Structures are given as C-alpha cells and as structure tokens.
Structure 1
C-alpha cells in the first residue's frame, strides 16, 4: 500500500504536468530561502512555477503521462512553464548568472527529453514578444517605404512652392 502523502504528491505532479507545456530541471542546491522565494516570484511573473517533488514520483507521473522520463538525481527543482519556454529559461539563466548556485540538468519540451545544454539554448532564443516585434517590423518596413515613395511627389511640390514663395518675398 503506497503512502498517502506520496499518492497526494503524485496527484499534484500529474496536475502540474497536465497544466504545463514543458518542464525544466534545475539543481538549486545552496540557494537560501530568500533566493528561492525571489526565483519563484520571477518565474511566476514569466508564466512558470517551480516545485520540488520526489524524483521517483515525478518519474512515475511522467510515465503515466506518456512523456519521456528524465534521468535526474539529487536535489532537483522542476520548473513547469505554461506558455513560453523562453521566458522561463531566461529567468533561470539570469538567476543562474547572478547567484552562481543554479545548474541546468535538462528539460522536457515538445514531448522530447533535452540535455542540459539543449535546455540552456532556450534562454538564447528571442522571447515571444521579441519575435512578434520583429514580425511587425518585417511587415511594416515595405509599407512605410511605399508610403514614403507615394508622399515623395507631394513633398517635392511643397518644396518647390516654398522656394518660389521665398524668391517672391525676397524680391
């Protein structure tokens, strides 16, 4: 008979997996309570949440969800992201640089298991907002060029009329 606490934890892990699009695995050893709270706050603002569960219970939940099972051991924090993996990865990267206590262990994204280096690569990608801004720029650039070309003759006419008016006023 399994322990009732483990059964409850398994249900919570399953819920976290169901509500997320992927998971980052990080080693958070050495973080103080205050640093951990700050990391959790920043992750929440980025649309992710960090939980610490027993590794074997997470493995069982991943198997039951038919997701790849991550081979992690030791002190592991699971960062579940809801929408944008890049935003969560950037927060982990920034905090990792600042605190020098966080290590990437891997991730599960798009139904595939990723190594630590592959998980880190997400932090180098542009965020969803940056990609949207780039798309708007690419779409708007030709339109602004067309608008300038169309406005060119009218601008030229205005310049010529202004010059003629200046000549008449000078005479």
Structure 2
C-alpha cells in the first residue's frame, strides 16, 4: 500500500498533550495491472484458440471421429481468438469500454472452455479411434488451459476496472498517524 504524508494536515502542536497528528493518505484496493499483463493473457487466448481451431478442422476433415459433428474445436477456437483479439485492443487502448468488452468476452470464454472440457471428456470416454483420441486429448488440454487463462483475464479486467473507478471518483482513505511529543 502506498502512503503519502499530507504535511498540511498536522493537528495539534505544542498545546496538544497527545502530540502532533499527521494524516496519511493511502490508496485502497488492488494495484492496476499494467497493459503487458493484459496483453499476455490476450496473446495466450489467441494462441490457444488457433490450436483449438487447427485441431478441430483436422478432426473434421481427416479423422473419423464419432463426435466430430459437434464442432467443439471450431466454435470454441473461433471464440477464444475473438476474445484474445478484444484483449489486445483493451491492452493497447485502456479505455473502460474495451476493458468491459474484454471482461465480457473472457467470461463467455470461461463458459465455452468449461463446455468444451465436458464435451471432450465425454468423447474421450466413448471414442475408440486412436488418431481421434490424440486430437481429442490436445483439445481437452487446450480447453483446460483456456479455462485458467480466462479466469486470469477476468480477474485482471476486474482489477483494472476497479482501479479506473477509484481514479475517476478519487477514493482515498485518510487515517491518522500520531507523532510523539518531542522533548524541548
């Protein structure tokens, strides 16, 4: 927590039996994440989305899988790429609108990755084709990774919005710090 001492807020003086009181001004709440952190989570979402899209297309075109018609790799991959793309905009232009957009997209990506995990785990149980199993495992690992990155991105966006709100309204906490009476 960063503390600034406000020299103009001294109360007391020599007549105060308890000593001088100096108020400290401390900004409360989490610190604002920098744009590099947001950019890192956005890049991870794009990379995971590209991996899922490639595996989803490979399953559809070249491998005979029972659950290929669900298109999990395709729709979740496209959504993760779009979410990461919005994150790249939010990291370059840190306006409240882009951060809210990235927060929303990451929240929906969280739900999409959870759905992909459930569908891929179910297909791993029932699938018999060995080639399909390898790609399904890759999709399952990518969806689990996206779940973690989406949670991280949602937390980062919430922290960023919280710090923007506190800057807009100037919320500060003033707490007294007591100085002992100096002997004369």
TM-score (norm 1): 0.29
Greater relative contact order structure (CA < 8 Å, 6+ sep): 2
| TM-score, normalised via structure 2 length | 0.28
Bigger fraction of residues in strand: 1
Greater helix fraction, Structure 1 or Structure 2 = 2
